[in-house]
Structure 1
Amino acid sequence: MLSHNLDHRLDRLLSGLLSHIHRLGISPNFLTITSVVVAIPATIFFGLGQGLWGGLMLLVSGLFDILDGALARTQGKVTRFGGFLDSVIDRYVDLGILAGISYYYGSSGQKTLLLWTLMAMSGTALIPYVRARAELIIPRCSIGIAERPERIIMLAAGGIFNLLPYAIFVLALITHVTTLQRIIFTRKQEKEDRSQKSEEA
């Protein structure tokens, strides 16, 4: 939900920084790659149980992810490959962070939290998969209460404020709710499209 409302507002807010980045010759794809590089220490920190540093590094990674799309839009460099690369990198970051958290809970014997983290991981993986499959049969399927910005903020805040178990629990629930929302939305849209085609025939 946040991504739809904030993209163009952020473009305006970050216009000065984006112009400076452009003058340095930095490309959107470079920022995309940087986001996953920064996420590596975030994953390690989470794996070591250092939620504060993990959360802070995750926010930095998220900032680079925001900047890559904003730079591409403001400089007219939006490409299909750039969107594809950004999506792949996002999956590496999302699942890497949750893998680090899973490692920490597993190695410290916290089996219940490990289970919830694995549930959050499966829900996180399903959200973009369901969208990709849905958009083979309907024009767009980007609805849901747990899009990527919400998930990143939740994990980062959970780590920074020492509330990670609560963040994981909520994330495990809302990712699967979002998946269900997209399934229901796709079914409804596909049914409406079929009805409209029948009427036109």
Structure 2
Amino acid sequence: MLNRHARGFFTALFSPLARWLLKIGVSPDAITIVGTAGVVVGALVFYPLGQLWWGTIFITAFIFSDVIDGIMARMQERGGRWGNFLDSTLDRVADGALFAGLAVWFFTGGANQAIAIAAVLCLVLGMVVSYARAKAEALASTPTWESQNVPRGWFQFWWSPDLPDLDCRAPYCWSPLSCSPQPAW
């Protein structure tokens, strides 16, 4: 997520492209799908081969699709539930591909098990956070998530006090990569 200053900058930068894409009939959903496919291909082709630099360059070309699709949806005043669902779901697919590609490389040719394990940990904990949020919402509770600009997968969040019926509250939720305990409430 971009802060308001970065969002303004990127909106101004990519609005002409977004306007042109809409003009030629490209939908925001198509941009979301193509962008995710590019990230997945880059992460699962380049990273396992040890081409971390070129993989990152390739992926960066597709990362901005996540900004462009949002600009396009706002221009069309189409920011509905389907687009939100598709974008969030495919963001998790892209996250998974990135961490999986890194894990494969560092478990094999990169020969650095610590980084490989950290990548797998980020992959798993990123899924846990998404699942916990969905489950809390399904149980009619609202978790409060605080990222404090911590990369996804660090599993650093606080449960809000409105989750008394869930047995998932604990005095501290540990952020495994920073090793700093965070109060749960």
* TM-score band, normalised by shorter chain: 0.7 to 0.9
Q: How does 1:43-192 map to 2 (within 5 A)?
A: 43-108=44-109, 109-136=111-138, 137-138=140-141, 141-146=144-149, 151=152, 175-177=154-156, 181=157, 184-186=158-160, 188-190=161-163
Letter in 1 for 2:34: T
Q: Structure 1: any 5+ residue segments left out of the alignment?
A: 152-171, 192-201
TM-score normalised by length of structure 2: 0.74
Q: Quick one: structure 1 residues 12 and 142, their matched pair in 2 at CA, closer, same or farther if it must change by over 3 Å? A: farther
Q: Which has the higher strand share?
A: 2
Which string of whole-angstrom CA distances, capped at 9 and with x for unpartnered residues, describes residues 134-162 of structure 1?
A: 44434574531257xx55xxxxxxxxxxx
Structure 2 distance, partners of 1:68, 1:140, is 27
TM-score normalised by length of structure 1: 0.68
Aligned to 2:183: none
Displacement, 1:67? 0.8
Letter in 1 for 2:2: S
Aligned to 1:16: 16
Q: Which moved more, 1:15-24 or 1:92-101?
A: 15-24
SS at match of 1:30: helix
Q: Which moved more, 1:118-127 or 1:63-72?
A: 118-127
Matched pairs, number:
160
**RMSD across aligned C-alpha pairs, in angstroms?**
2.4
Displacement, 1:11? 3.1
Q: How does 1:189-200 map to 2 (within 5 A)?
A: 189-190=162-163
Structure 2 distance, partners of 1:89, 1:113, is 24
Which string of whole-angstrom CA distances, capped at 9 and with x for unpartnered residues, describes residues 96-115 of structure 1?
A: 11111111111134222221
Q: Quick one: structure 1 residues 11 and 75, their matched pair in 2 at CA, closer, same or farther if it must change by over 3 Å? A: farther
Give the percent of matched residue pairs that are identical in Structure 1 and Structure 2.
24
Q: Does the 8 A contact of 1:7 with 1:70 survive in 2?
A: no
Structure 1 distance, partners of 2:148, 2:26, is 33
Q: Does the 8 A contact of 2:143 with 2:159 survive in 1?
A: no
Q: Quick one: structure 1 residues 102 and 34, their matched pair in 2 at CA, closer, same or farther if it must change by over 3 Å? A: same
Q: Does the 8 A contact of 2:47 with 2:102 survive in 1?
A: yes
